[in-house]
Structure 1
Amino acid sequence: MTAGKPSVRTGPALRATPALRQEVRRIAKIYHLGPDTVARLVLTVSSLAARTLDEGGSVTLGEGTCEPSPPAAGHAVLTLEGLDTTGEPDPTGLPLPPTRTLPHSVSWHFPLPDRQGPFLPSPRAGSPSASDVDAYEMELRAALVRLDGLERQQQLLEDELSETNDGVLALYLQLEEREEQLRWAQGQTLLAMEDALRPAALSVAGLELAVHYAPSDPAAPTGGDLYDWFQLPDGTVHITVVDALGHGVGSTKSALSVTHAVRTLAQEGHPLESILARVDRQLSPVVPGLQATVLLARLDPTTGVLTLAGGSHPPALLLRAHDGTTEFLSVRGRGVGYPLPGSETLRHEVLTPGDLVVLYTDGLTESRRDPLEGEVRLIAAARKHAALPLGEIPSAIAADMHTVVLHADDTLALALRLSPRPRHRSDAGP
């Protein structure tokens, strides 16, 4: 016997399916094949031999073992010969596909238990085969036992999976809650930092000032919208409104750079019309990528003279107290970081007591993605709330403007108004 090749003994010719099934079961019993394997093998052999037997032909079953040599070392071999395989379906779709397929025969290899020496039981050894009915009952019982076992395993796996899912869900909820707490804490920290960066309240005789700020994302309150106000030595009040490109800490840093540079230049006495161009020259080399729209306002509380310089920023809104007329105070110019930066002109207006001026960033008027429609609504909101105490006006206007938000953005609204002058006794008449 050649090493590595099967030693197969061929049985008698078989012409009927019941006899074929009995022979398969007899051989399977010799080699101790399990019930599940036997059932699959019986079905497969019957299917492959059906055409040959139906046409009056015969098939034979051969059985034996392979010597311990790869790749079939220690295997039992079952061969079905005499088949008419012409036009037969692909055997790989059968319950137990053959290990090897030839034009007129197929074979299967089954691992043998470890034994010393060759394992070649007699092909006629073993007790007589059971009847088809008894064999089917035995195979069905084994299949049901196996199915019950698989169902129990599946149920255990489903229970374990359910427990795992519950644990994962609980962990996910804990992590989500923790993440929300961290976001809130981070937001509070950033909000405190943002508030610390804003100027302190300014108290100037004859002038009222108020401001409202809201970030686009409450969990990330930093942004590029910033303002600054301070009083110059001559008594005039300077106001800067900045909207730096972007969001988050980076844009806050850009806006701070602009407001600090403007404050320094204003306090050094540089003309208002030159400040924006000077800021651009100072910051462009040290703050790469900086882009910001800017509106500068200079107000003399004594005379009511308001002077504006602009750089690509939305115009301030003026609401006259005596007749309710409104006007947007446009100033031509380009912002910091833009081509040819600086204010092209200055805009001069004379305010009277009670006149309301609103300075803002585009987040106030462009929440619905239509700046012109936003300006119309801003006029209506300013008229609606003009009689309120000035400290309430910016927030009331913002609330009206943001009843519908299609485009979330940082929002800054700053209001100023000359206080009505108190009447002296000599003004009262006789």
Structure 2
Amino acid sequence: MITHGTTHRSLRGLRATLRRLAHQWRLPAELRARLTLSVSTVAAEELDAGRIVTLHVAPEPTPDGRPPQLAVRLRTPLAPPGVPAPRDLPLPAERLPGAVTLWRVPTQSCAPMAESSLGQLGLLQGEVRAGSAVERADALAAEQDRLTRELNETNSGVLALYVQLEERDEQLRRAHGRTLRELEDALRPPPVRIEGLEMAVHYAPADTHAPTGGDLYDWFRLPDGSVHITVVDALGHGVTSTRSALNVTHAVRTLALEGHPLDSIVARTDEILLPFDGELMSTVLLVRIDPGTGRLSVANGSHPPPLLVRADGTTTLVEVRGRGIGYPLAGSEAVRHEQLGPGDLLVLYTDGLTESRRDPIEGEARLAAAASRLRDLPIAEFPGAIAAELHTRILHSDDTLALAVRRTMPTPGGTP
């Protein structure tokens, strides 16, 4: 009786031994393939884990005198739980104690071909090609496993890099936003502190990621004691419009401090700036308030009119005709005068406040109603409350500026 016992550390070596023994025992090609695939399926997990398997092949006599069966035993270190049941393998098997899987294979003769006779008979060309194909398949499978691992590692690396880039981008956006907000704060002066008047302002950009815009204001005290307020709305958004608005406020401040009449400042600003910036277009509103007497003066260049809210809740739009910077025939056609009494409130704003629904007339009516209802709020809360009231529904997003000035009630023994 001829038996064969071998140990194996690789799937390729195990398959080569099986093919050689199958040729020796003259197994049909289909049976050889099923046996090789079945044994490989059972052994693959153990070999991949680096463990050794033992293959034992021996003939077993049959009781009826037919050619002997070939008993193929595969011993693995552990019972193979992750493989199909023995009966479900391409060539059914039996599971024996001791982690042994047994295949009984019918043979065509009672003895195998000798090793030397294999060379004399030669292998069929098709079998040689089949063996080569199996080897190539093994090599391709190994290469596919390697490429799959490398691809998974690459994908993991790309995902990690993507997350890092997203985090970095978010950090840059936040830093950019902080820088722009600091720039905005530097461009927007705090309220003037002067007895007889209290002031507050609210500003909100159209795009929170780009908080600069063309809506700017300026307020300062003139040598005669009156307070000058400038409100500007330059065409466009972002840093370019901020630069244009800043040029306007600086030119107006220079002209006002030089003593130019209020009704000439809009036209003179246009004359100064247009030669340097032919694309500049901006509305501008100029207001003077005498805190002692309450005298109010207004000049306008295409800007929405201020809203005067009396202490009793009645409202008036202080309208003045005029054309803004960069418009044909820029300038204010007149200066309108009003009287602020104790408790009266003046609201200055840009069109982003009243045109959020694209209808300025409706916006002005809603502004008047809201300002009348909210007039007794503390001055620091009033501009923000007005913006929140008018922006309950926004159809047209724009930079928004709301500025409020209230003439305070006279104090005992003091000036109003």
Q: TM-score, normalised to structure 1's length?
A: 0.63
Q: State the SS of the aligned residue for 2:327.
A: coil
1:290 to 2:312 alignment:
no
Identity over aligned pairs, percent: 63
Per the alignment, do residues 150 and 364 of structure 1 end up closer, same or farther by CA in structure 2, a change over 3 Å counting? farther
342, 355, 360: which one pairs with 2:349? Answer: 360
Q: Are 1:209 and 2:238 an aligned pair?
A: no
Q: Tell me the equivalent position of 1:176.
A: 166
Q: In the alignment, which of 383, 386, 393 is matched to residue 404 of structure 1?
A: 393
Q: Which amino acid aligns with 2:281?
A: Q
Cα distance 1:353–1:167, how it changes in 2: closer, same or farther (>3 A)? same
Partner of 1:327: 316
Number of residues of Structure 1 aligned to a counterpart in Structure 2? 295
1:187 and 2:200 matched: no
CA RMSD of aligned residues (A): 2.6
Q: 5+ unaligned residues in a row in structure 1: which ranges?
A: 1-125, 426-430
Q: 1:347 maps to what in 2?
A: 336
What is the aligned partner in structure 1 of residue 269 from structure 2? 279
Counterpart in the other structure of 1:309: 299
1:421: which partner in 2? 410
- Once the two structures are superposed, what CA deviation does each residue of 1:61-113 show, in whole Å capped at 9, x if it has no partner? xxxxxxxxxxxxxxxxxxxxxxxxxxxxxxxxxxxxxxxxxxxxxxxxxxxxx
1:208 Cα offset (Å): 0.9
Deviation at 1:206, TM superposition (A): 0.8
Give the letter aligned to residue 201 of structure 2.
V
Task: Give the structure 2 partner of residue 163 of structure 1.
Answer: 153
Shift of 1:420: 1.1
Identify the range of structure 1 (377-386 vs 242-251) with the bigger mean alpha-carbon deviation.
377-386
> How far apart in 1 are the matches of 2:300 and 2:219?
16
Instruction: Map 1:70-85; keep pairs closer than 5 Å.
Output: none
| Aligned CA distance change for structure 1 residues 162 and 213 (closer, same or farther; 3 Å) | same
Residues 140 and 296 of structure 1, relative CA distance in 2, 3 Å threshold: farther
One-letter amino acid of the counterpart of residue 331, structure 1: V
User: What is the match of residue 92 of structure 1?
Assistant: none
Q: List gaps (5 residues or longer) in structure 2.
A: 1-119
Give CA deviations for 1:325-352 in whole Å, capped at 9, x if unaligned: 2222222111101111111222222221
8 Å CA contact 2:314–2:372 kept in 1: the answer is: no
> Relative to structure 1, is the Cα distance of residues 378 and 166 closer, same or farther in structure 2, using a 3 angstrom cutoff?
farther
Secondary structure class of the residue paired with 1:235:
coil
Q: How many Å apart are 1:238 and its aligned residue?
A: 0.9
Task: Kindly state the Cα deviation for residue 151 of structure 1 after the two structures are TM-superposed.
Answer: 5.1
Going from structure 1 to structure 2, the CA distance change for 1:129 and 1:279 (only over 3 Å counts) comes to: same
Q: What is the rounded CA distance, in whole Å, between the counterparts of 1:381 and 1:147 in structure 2?
A: 81
Runs of 4+ in 1 over 6 A off after TM superposition: 126-129
Code of the residue aligned with 2:394 in structure 1: it is: V
User: Does the C-alpha gap of structure 1 residues 170 and 360 become closer, same or farther in structure 2, counting only changes over 3 Å?
Assistant: same
Q: Distance in 2 between matches of 1:178 and 1:246?
A: 29
User: In the aligned structure 2, how far is the partner of 1:270 from the partner of 1:295?
Assistant: 16
Q: Report the AA paired with residue 324 of structure 2.
A: G
Superposition TM-score, scaled by structure 2 size: 0.65
CA distance in 1, matches of 2:253, 2:359: 33
The code of the aligned residue for 1:270 comes to H
- Other-structure match for 1:242: 232
